[in-house]
Structure formats: structure tokens, C-alpha cells
Amino acid sequence: MKDIAYDITALDAILTAEGDFAVTDNPSTQNGGIILQARGFNRSNLLLGIGLSEVHGEDITEFATQMNRWQTQVTGDGGQAAWSYDPNSGNTSWKVNYPL
């Protein structure tokens, strides 16, 4: 499965040196990342996307609430998602897979 490559941090499509759209063979991570970072990015479903940067610095309860919303949205979008939080280091991680 191929998809247009997307820079989750810049919130923009990636272009090749020739100006064409770059493609990726594994869109799972970027699709989950788009839902994680964007807010209302899908015009047919404005509730899709949690805008994680908007809750950065919030308490862990609010963070967990938003990450659970993200996990539910990825699942509703046809993917599988999981996230974890390490209270000792404060680090979080997430992974996404859209089965073919």
C-alpha cells in the first residue's frame, strides 16, 4: 500500500527534489500521527484528530484522556493503536498499524 508521504511535524506533504509528491510504502505511522497532531483535519469528520500539541503540558489525566480519544479514533479509522506512559521518566510512546 502506498500513500503520499506526510511530515507530521510540519503538517505538510513531503515533496521530492523534482517537486513531485513523495510516497511512502508504510502509511500506518503517518496516518496515526496525523490524527495525533491535527485538529479537525478531516472535512467530513471535524471531530477526527486530537491536536496533541494543544494539551502538551497538561496534567497526566488530561493527557491520558486525549490519548485514549486518539486510540479510539485510529481504531474507528480502521487502524490499531497503542500508547504508553512511563511515570518515572515522563516519556510517552505510541504505535499504529493499519492492516492491509
37-83: per-residue pLDDT in tens?
766 555 555 556 666 666 556 677 888 888 898 899 889 888 899 99
Contact yes or no for 22/56 (Cβ under 8 A) = no
Question: How far is Cα 90 from Cα 17, in angstroms, rounded to an integer?
Answer: 38
Instruction: Judge whether residue 89 has pLDDT over 70.
Output: yes
Q: For residues 44 and 50, is the Cβ–Cβ distance under 8 A?
A: no
